[in-house]
Each structure stands twice: as C-alpha cells, then as structure tokens.
Amino acid sequence: MNFAYRVNPRLQVGAEYNAAAGEWSPTANLIALTETEGRPLVTFGTSSDRIFSPAGNQAYFVTVAKKIPGTAFGPYVGASYSEWEQTVIFPFGVNVALAPEWDALYLNDGRNSHALLTYKGVGWNITLMSVRLRRFGVSVGYAF
C-alpha cells in the first residue's frame, strides 16, 4: 500500500506499507527538471528496495525520461542505489501511450523485467502487471 501527499507540483512525500514484511518505509519524489521540447524530465526519489529483496532496505534513485517527439514512446533510464545489494543498479524502460486513457509500460528494474498495462480514469487507475514476465497482479490507485 502506498500513501502519498503532493506538497507542490514538483514534490511528493509519503509512506508505503509492505504487508508481507510488516514494515513501513518512507517515499519521496522530487521533479528536478520538467520535460520541455529540448530537455528531459529529471526526478530524484526514494522508496523501499522491496521487489524481491529483504525487509528494511531503502533505494535512492535518479531517473531521466523524454518522450520521443511525434511518437507515442517515452523511454527512461535511471540509476538506483540499493541498500540491500549495496550497489548501483540501472533501471530502464519505455512507456507507450496507447490512447488518452491507456498506457503500456515495459521496464527492467535493474534486476528483472516487468510489463504493465494501465487504464486511467479521473482520479483513479487500474494496472495489470506481469512481474518478471511470469507472475500476474493488479494494482489500483485512487486520489482523494
């Protein structure tokens, strides 16, 4: 479960709860540079280092993303320091805008590949996930 509060248009802070591990951890995301025609989006953040890692570990990351003009593709690359592995990993992926309310995302988190398909409504979304391209799940988001 993730809880987030948007402090301003560029800063979001929150917490996530991992029921399987019984732990809370902080989250934050700062948009350092907004995307323009000539420059990419740059974000910094932190969250639990939780996918396939032991409890109690945090990850710290920077991500650079840029929509390819005239296409539906928005690739990204990043660097993430993993407390669990005590090393830097390099996530990457590409978002594809299928329609105004549909997005597909292929990503590699620096360890494993995943695929997501998201339907976006006003103030909510639902995502079908293929974790490690083998296990399936559903995520629901709601803004209030």
pLDDT surpasses 90 at 50: no
Least confident of 2-6, 39-43, 72-76: 2-6
Q: For the residues 63-74, what does the mean pLDDT come to?
A: 97
- Supply the pTM of this predicted model: 0.87
Handedness of CA 112, 6, 28, 55 (dihedral sign): negative
Q: Give the pLDDT confidence score for residue 90 in this predicted structure.
A: 96
Amino acid at 64: V
Q: For the residues 108-125, what does the mean pLDDT come to?
A: 94
- Rg (C-alpha) for the chain, rounded Å, is 15
Query: What are the DSSP E strand ranges found in 10-134?
Result: 11-18, 23-33, 41-48, 58-65, 73-82, 87-89, 92-99, 102-108, 113-121, 124-131
For residue 79, what pLDDT band results from cuts at 50, 70 and 90? very high
Share of residues in the chain with pLDDT > 70 (%):
98
